[in-house]
Structure 1
């Protein structure tokens, strides 16, 4: 079954309560009304933990930030508003676990490992921009917590360097194809990278971290065998924040998870056969050999006397040799299916 991660990231806008509301969205029951099916909701939520002192230069911290999505007059002040402390991350972690969700944490600096004094996430996530941050990868891998990495800013050599660093400590690694364009243009998605990763990195789980608009691309990724799907989520796409508009709102979350779960049920087996549930429709709709005129008792039936009509519980056209040349034992009215008991 596909492991679906709802990426909250920093869509909580610096609010624990908003993060909890988003978790409520991620674990909301998913139902398919027509078939009265209750489907599995998201499996996990993900937050992002930063240590700005280990991430941004003084120039970046002090740079004016006048975007409509800014929470501060400088970029550093903006980022600080969006940051939650370790205790707040722990509170959100406990809330997610109580709701039956796994908790994934993106750590953006070695200093962020301070959360381990309070809790251990189910997975650690390496952001695309940090795939080349080998000291961070080593520190994260040393915890032995399973690691998910995104390839959005990496080539093969950089991916291999990251894997070499992590596997010195453990090999519980998942690789997500990703394109770090927000939102990602359709022609840049290149879902066939999933096939490449499956072929060349078969020791690892392969998935897809999506930044496209809508839900069609993650569905296609699942159809291609992606075992993990990660997608930004929010309780309101109109809220202030750079990721809100490109995230899935409540209806989008419901539709994506519903359609992934239904798609999973649709794969079946590699064979061709008739489902038992189709038998009734087959009998009703398929064609059988029938009379195209009145065939009187004692008449020898010829090809000129027959055609095909529903229902499909009589002779098929491939069985016409069982009908042509036979004698009618009863009068067979025009446009009636010819059955075995009607002929000699």
Structure 2
């Protein structure tokens, strides 16, 4: 069975879904907020918190030419450089955040956006790497991360089948033996109808890797549904306050929403179970309320049992209704009182 292991936690279809709280830019430039997000993610039940490691200079160019302008969406009116300068996580925070996460007992790792970010994260002992959707086409970056030998998760938003295959081949050829891909729609937020979750089953078959979901919808329905289709990882943006005014706050989960995500996703996984037509433990006490055959008339010993003397009713202490034809026409061994459960011991 396909699996990867991050910081001792095995991730596979036969294990509960791995829940990643994506901090992204939701610290809003305040390290105390960043540390509180980590603590609240742990409290909510997430397996990991993920950050992003870049600066405006490692991600784009400081230009206001048309190519670098954002003209629509949440960040309209800014240049790319202005957005990333606003949204980045300062590199001198990283050790503080990693140390805090370890004290809290929650796994922390990051999305690196260039090789210097990977070097920094290696120095901090990052247990895994996440390649963001927009970087899935950056095969040199994927190869550099793969050479660390760490598990890798690649988001596939905007990538077609060929590009996903190229990213997987780049990771594997550079030494990544533990690889997962996340089905993703790179809209912020994204409508549930865009997710086409049936793609998950095709991804598992086509690419033979652990699969999951990077979910940008505003509720948890899509995420829970994805578990039923084989998602082993669920990633969602997480903030302390959806109205906080930061770059990603408006489409992120708040703490109570993250609690719900963790619970509903794991309940969905538990409900899958195995192929099993047998009676379940919670049903045992209710078997007596099924229908069965009862005598609805008193019958004398030796008397033939007529059709109007027997009915299919609740409870279920008599023989099953399927035996009605085998009962009618036979004779009573002894006197039978009305409302007696039908038993073959009572008839010849």
- Where structure 1 has 5 or more consecutive residues not aligned to the other structure, the ranges are 30-40
- Per-residue CA deviation, residues 59-106 of structure 1 (Å, 9 max, x unaligned), is 149978899988x98653553343333331111112112222221201
Q: Does 1:241 align with 2:216?
A: no
- 1:53 pairs with 50, 57, 63, which one? 57
Partners of 1:314 and 1:338 within 8 A in 2: yes
Structure 1 residue 112: deviation in Å?
1.6
Change (3 A) 1:323 1:290: same
SS at match of 2:342: coil
Q: Does 1:316 align with 2:320?
A: yes
Which residue in 1 is equivalent to 2:284?
Answer: 279
Structure 1 residue 339: deviation in Å?
4.1
SS at match of 1:45: strand
Which residue in 1 is equivalent to 2:202?
Answer: 196
- 1:102 pairs with 107, 112, 115, which one? 107
- 1:21 pairs with 33, 36, 39, which one? 36
Which residue in 1 is equivalent to 2:9?
Answer: none
After TM superposition, the structure 1 = structure 2 runs for residues 1-344 of structure 1, keeping only pairs within 5 Å, are: 1=15, 2-28=17-43, 41-60=45-64, 76-116=81-121, 118-171=123-176, 172-202=178-208, 204-283=209-288, 285-296=289-300, 298-320=302-324, 321-322=326-327, 324-327=329-332, 329-333=334-338, 335-339=339-343, 342-343=346-347
SS at match of 1:54: helix
- Per-residue CA deviation, residues 216-245 of structure 1 (Å, 9 max, x unaligned), is 111111100111111111111111123212
Structure 1 residue 117: deviation in Å?
6.1
Which residue in 2 is equivalent to 1:33?
Answer: none
Change (3 A) 1:143 1:60: farther
**C-alpha separation in 2, matches of 1:115 and 1:170:** 20
**C-alpha separation in 1, matches of 2:160 and 2:319:** 62
SS at match of 1:338: coil
Over aligned residue pairs, what C-alpha RMSD do you find?
2.7
Deviates more, 1:159-168 or 1:78-87: 78-87
Change (3 A) 1:81 1:243: closer
Change (3 A) 1:233 1:191: same
Deviates more, 1:10-19 or 1:154-163: 154-163
**C-alpha separation in 1, matches of 2:70 and 2:294:** 80
Task: Give the total of aligned pairs.
Answer: 329
TM-score by length of 2: 0.85
Structure with the greater relative contact order (CA < 8 A, sep ≥ 6): 1 or 2? 2
- Where structure 2 has 5 or more consecutive residues not aligned to the other structure, the ranges are 1-14
Structure 1 residue 295: deviation in Å?
3.2
Structure 1 residue 110: deviation in Å?
2.2
**C-alpha separation in 2, matches of 1:186 and 1:68:** 18
**C-alpha separation in 2, matches of 1:150 and 1:101:** 22
